[in-house]
Structure 1
Amino acid sequence: MNLIDRFGDIFQLSYVARDRDRAVEFAAAKLGIDNFFCFEGKCPVRTRGNVEDLLLRVAVANTGTHQFEIIEPVSGPTWIYTEGRDLDRQALSLHHVGVAVMGPHSVWQDTIAQLRADGDEIVQISELAPGEEPQALFAYVDNRASLGHFTEYLWWSPAMNGTPTMPTLMQGERA
């Protein structure tokens, strides 16, 4: 599958910030985005051969048919958000585009298998505990050398009412 074929399902632009709350203020003042849903997300991820808990402070806002996301890395394997970035120089730094993986969980499994078969390097992927029912799953492919950003593939279960978010976040909770 060609990369451009996958990009037809881009629904999100995601930025990294040193301070989520300051970045939200900036987005409201400069971009006119004032409908952010802010939360803290903690989930286990597999990265660099290990499983570690990742803690992020996140803000998401829907703008038309797309989502604008701001991520403040807090703890765990945050290298994916900070490596090669000077977060003190700008309010927001482009991190990834988000590609929706629509359908049942089997579509997610097929997508991951296809990414690997195509030679895409998955540098971070959400990890489920044994027996855990998936709510939302994500995987980052490193496209920085060719496109200048990561690509995130995100699947969420129908039980989440089509709202992509972090896997262990209870809908409606705010940080």
Structure 2
Amino acid sequence: MIVGRHYQNAYVTRNVDKAVAEFKQRADIRTLLETQVSVNLWTPQGEGVGVQKLAFVWVGDLQCELIQPIEGDVLSLYRDALPTDDSLTFHHVCQLVDDWDAFMARVDQQPFPVVLKGGTPGMLEFLYLDTRDWLGHYTEYCWMVPDRWAAMGGRPA
């Protein structure tokens, strides 16, 4: 299932700071947001809190999300994909959907398992489908209110 608007390529790394430095040298960055967050996540193995260091690097209308898992059992989706060194490894794409409820109504009708969910209801919600057998990577779907999209550096469609 591919719906929505592709806006993000995401990478995992052991060193977000190094990755950001490389983007600053090699890319025409429009917006850069860096943070460390603690988020409540659901996985098929259970719920928990994951701490991640993140950078959102906008190059034109493409966001490159850089993810460094810090702690939390629920972060195995990222941790299992980490390279052995400080390089970047491609992890997933993200599709922005306009109507979360309509999207969620379709999730049970498609063949790919949900492997991660999180967000803040009414503000920003996301989930990952395991599309690796089909596409070679995970596919994230995200919905957010317009103010949150603008705060993340997004432009109107």
The TM-score normalised by the length of structure 1 is: 0.77
| Paired positions, count | 152
Give secondary structure in 1 for the equivalent of 2:40: strand
Give, in angstroms, the shift of residue 34 of structure 1.
Answer: 7.4
Mapped pair 1:81 → 2:68: no
Matched residue type, 2:113? E
CA RMSD of aligned residues (A): 2.2
Q: Aligned residue for 1:135? A: 123
Of the structure 1 ranges 60-69 and 24-33, higher mean CA displacement relative to structure 2 is found in 24-33
Give, in angstroms, the shift of residue 43 of structure 1.
Answer: 1.5
Mapped pair 1:59 → 2:49: no
Give % identity: 26
Mapped pair 1:146 → 2:130: no
In the superposition, relative to structure 1, how do residues 117 and 73 fare at CA in structure 2: closer, same or farther (>3 Å)?
same
Matched residue type, 2:140? E
CA distance in 2, matches of 1:112, 1:162: 23
In the superposition, relative to structure 1, how do residues 67 and 124 fare at CA in structure 2: closer, same or farther (>3 Å)?
same
Give, in angstroms, the shift of residue 28 of structure 1.
Answer: 1.9
Of the structure 1 ranges 144-153 and 32-41, higher mean CA displacement relative to structure 2 is found in 32-41
CA distance in 1, matches of 2:24, 2:152: 22
4+ long deviations beyond 6 Å: none
Give secondary structure in 2 for the equivalent of 1:160: helix
More strand by share: 2
Matched residue type, 1:71? I
In the superposition, relative to structure 1, how do residues 134 and 54 fare at CA in structure 2: closer, same or farther (>3 Å)?
farther
Q: Which sections of structure 1, spanning at least 5 residues, go unmatched? A: 166-175
CA distance in 1, matches of 2:82, 2:55: 20
Mapped pair 1:156 → 2:144: yes
The TM-score normalised by the length of structure 2 is: 0.85
Mapped pair 1:19 → 2:40: no
